[in-house]
Chain A
Amino acid sequence: MNSSRPPVPLLAWRPMAGILFRQIVLYRRSVPRWMEIFYWPLLDLLVWGFLTLYLKKIPSFMPSAVTSLLGALLLWDLLYRAQQGISVMFLEEIWSKNLIHLLIAPITPFHVVGGAVLSSIVKVLLSSSVAAFLAYLLFSFRIFSLGLHLFFFILALLMMGWALGILTTAVILRFGQEAEVLAWGVIFLFQPFSAVFNPVSVLPQVAADISRAVPASYVFEGMRSVLVHGRLPVGDLMMAFLLDFLYAAVALFVYSRVITRARQKGFHLKLGS
């Protein structure tokens, strides 16, 4: 009997490792899941890569602006994978009727989020590394030309992706599997305002105002600034992180409220049935 065993500590690593372990085994065995990680980034890379080859031949286009398209694509994909990594992991628990096992385990919802974040890091690393290698091999684009700034760009985008992933998870938990399409679609709501392929300055005023509240817009503006002008607007990057923390706080608040409400109303018990 284990009555002497203490409760699972709040910062215990094993529960998060358990969630990560399951994800790694799931992915190791599944060709469709590997395709999810590599197929779409590869297709996007080819389409945009060929476009940059064409644009480079047009004399009025600045070569650095053209190549920044590929940088934008790689970073956008990273943001997308970060968000999807969290939401899809949660959906996998629902699909495999496994969610209740996790909810009765001696862990907090934040252990689950921690495990999801770890698995998202692994997936993003795999996907982005392959995409970055292919971008260099096929189109001679070196993402590492962004230097040390790249680390901060990646971190800011990962944080935004995770926050949106947690928020999407909360919405799915609240409204059921009818809302699962959000796992794939929610990030695209932010794309027009993220200044991924174009500067904020070309947006209509309303869209430009909205983009100021989107962390990714500061990252993509910063990336272009580094690639084209060779300098980083530090203030913009700080703003990205500030907004990231705000997004994360809102996402975690909503997530914990939904969990509390679920325990009162029981809507989580119908998921996957």
Chain B
Amino acid sequence: MALGEIPEVLLAQEVRKRYTKDGPWAVDGINLVLRRGEVVSIVGPNGAGKSTLIQMMLGLLVPDSGSIRIFGTDMATGRRKVAHRINYASTDLSLPYSLTVRENLMAYALIYNMSNIRERIEKVLVALNLEPFRDVRVGRLSTGQVARMGIAKALINDPELLFLDEPTATLDPEVSAQLRGTLQGMVRDRNMTLLYTSHNMREVERFSDRLYLMNRGRLVAEGTVPALMTRFDTEDLEALFLQMVQRERESDE
């Protein structure tokens, strides 16, 4: 199937956002599309606007102009119609430490109005290798286990579109690789779409079908990893990233 024929899951058009009336644009005219079954990364330096963009995609913020449509629904006005089909995990977020892994998942399965809750929890625990910790309080898990717990929560509603904000930032290379494998399996088997941010360029290289490079609120490049490396004449994504930031800095000067 040609890329254009694959159904769009998310479509962002001319999205702009700033936090104060005369302040700089945190997101400045972004156009972006995600298709079913893709793993897409957004990379950029700190302050590039990635978090603001994702927060608008989740409906936590409304754009000042432009629109973000997920499954055809405008997130600024119809978030609740599609929120049960998406989920999100970030290393910045946590879950109540005094609840066990299973209790946290139970609470969110209820909040997402899931049925067959026990079965769903077991599936998620198995997928994230968390079965041995099901009755351990989140506060007693290691940092890596907490990160996996966050992703387990994000999978509890069997999402079709999953946003992961630096999910492997606190994981060692082995656990990161395991997690990537799990997520790749879900994308492949269930045609899930994954939007991913990371500062780990090697990981992005290995994991993404496509990526968007963002800087100062704007998209500066988009494409598959090999296509971008050819276009920017670099050997790896890290060099491309540094080159892009350098170019932007020089153009400002």
The chain B residue sitting closest to A115, CB to CB, is B111
The answer to whether the Cβ of B197 comes within 8 Å of any Cβ in the partner chain is: no
Residue A26 is within 8 A (CB to CB) of chain B in the complex: yes
A residues near B25, Cβ cutoff 8 Å: none
Whether A25 and B97, one on each chain, are in contact in the complex, defined by CB atoms closer than 8 angstroms, is no
- State the CA gap A160–B86 with chains docked (Å): 37
Point out the residues of chain B lying under 8 angstroms from A8, CB to CB: 80, 83-84, 112-113
Name the one of B80, B83, B153, B160 contacting A2, with C-beta atoms under 8 angstroms: B160
- Asked if B95 lies at the interface with its beta carbon under 8 angstroms from chain A, I say yes
CB of B38, distance to nearest CB on chain A (Å): 15
Measured CB to CB, the closest approach of chain A to B198, in angstroms, equals 19
B-binding segment of A97-105, A151-159, A232-240: A97-105
**Distance (Å) between the CB of A106 and the closest chain B CB?**
4
Alpha-carbon distance between A264 and B112 when the two chains are bound, in angstroms: 25
Q: Which residues of A contact B107 (CB under 8 A)?
A: 18-19, 21-22, 25
Binding stretch for chain A, among B98-106, B168-176, B222-230, B243-251: B98-106
Check if A101 sits within 8 Å of B93, measured CB to CB: yes
Q: A1-B190, A17-B110 are in contact. Are A106 and B83 (CB under 8 A)?
A: yes
| A260, chain B: closest CB distance, angstroms | 9
Complex interface: chain B residues within 8 A of A1 (CB): 158, 160, 190-192
Residue A96 is within 8 A (CB to CB) of chain B in the complex: yes
Q: What range describes how many residues of B lie at the interface?
A: 35 or more
A18: chain B residues at CB < 8 Å are: 106-111
A18-B107, A26-B96 given as contacts; is B84 within 8 A of A104 (CB)?
A: no
Q: Which of A3, A25, A29, A30 has the most CB of B within 10 A?
A: A25
Scan A243-273; emit 1 where CB is below 8 A from any B CB, else 0. Answer: 0000000000000000000011110110001
A191 within 8 A of B: no
**A14 and B92: CB pair below 8 A?**
no
CA gap between A92 and B99 in the complex, in Å: 13
User: Within 8 Å of chain B (Cβ to Cβ): is A12?
Assistant: yes
B157 within 8 A of A: yes
Closest to A12 in B: B113
**B32 part of interface (Cβ distance < 8 Å):** no
A107 adjacent to B19 (CB under 8 Å): no
Task: Write out the residue numbers on chain B whose beta carbons fall within 8 Å of the beta carbon of A85.
Answer: none
B90: min CB distance to chain A, Å: 8
Rounded to whole Å, the gap between the CB of B35 and the closest CB of chain A is 15
In Å, the complex CA distance between A21 and B102 comes to 12
Distance of A102 from chain B, by nearest CB (Å)? 7
Enumerate chain B residues within 8 angstroms of A108, measured Cβ to Cβ. Answer: 80
Q: Does B13 contact A (CB under 8 A)?
A: no
Q: Which of B83, B94, B95, B104 contacts A105 (CB 8 A)?
A: B83
Can you report 23 residue pairs joining A to B where beta carbons are below 8 Å apart? A1-B160, A2-B157, A5-B85, A7-B83, A14-B114, A15-B113, A19-B107, A21-B106, A25-B98, A25-B99, A92-B96, A96-B97, A97-B92, A98-B95, A100-B60, A104-B88, A106-B84, A106-B113, A106-B157, A107-B83, A263-B60, A266-B19, A266-B61
B residues within 8 Å of A by Cβ?
Answer: 19, 52, 55, 58-62, 71, 80-88, 90, 92-99, 103-104, 106-114, 153, 157-158, 160, 190-192
Known A3-B71, A100-B60; 8 more pairs at CB < 8 Å? A7-B82, A8-B83, A15-B111, A19-B107, A26-B96, A96-B97, A98-B96, A106-B82
